[in-house]
């Protein structure tokens, strides 16, 4: 196996891993938004220990990324569009990686 072929295989694996992480984070972000709606409308039992642990996990994973976005957005009166903004950014990153960066390495 040539060095160039090894580099191509390694870069492909790296890009697939980055894409997978971004995809998983997308689903965690969606789950966090749905969970917050269910919690806000009292659809789920907020006194349940499992529900609280799931909620804390989702909050702790998404809040560090959403907080800077929220700071830059104007006040929309209780409507939080920061998850949508983050989903668009993730979509852009994934598309950029596979259409622009990866073909240069391959």
Cα–Cα separations (whole angstroms), residue 81 to 30, 56, 68, 104, 105: 12, 20, 13, 34, 35
Distance, CA of 27 to CA of 25 (rounded, Å): 5
* pLDDT higher at 40 or 5: 40
Confidence at residue 102, expressed as pLDDT on a 0 to 100 scale: 75
pTM above 0.85, yes or no: yes
13-31 pLDDT, tens digit each:
888 999 999 999 999 999 9
Under the banding of pLDDT at 50, 70 and 90, the label for residue 41 is: very high
């Amino acid at each position: 196996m040539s060095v160039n072929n090894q580099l191509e295989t390694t870069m492909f694996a790296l890009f697939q891993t980055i894409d997978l992480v971004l995809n998983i984070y997308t689903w965690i972000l969606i789950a966090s938004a749905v969970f917050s709606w269910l919690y806000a409308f009292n659809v789920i039992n907020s006194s349940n220990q499992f529900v609280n642990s799931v909620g804390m996990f989702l909050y702790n994973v998404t809040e560090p990324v959403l907080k800077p976005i929220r700071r830059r957005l104007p006040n929309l009166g209780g409507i939080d569009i920061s998850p949508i903004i983050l989903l668009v950014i993730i979509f852009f990153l994934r598309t950029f990686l596979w259409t622009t960066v990866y073909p240069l390495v391959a």
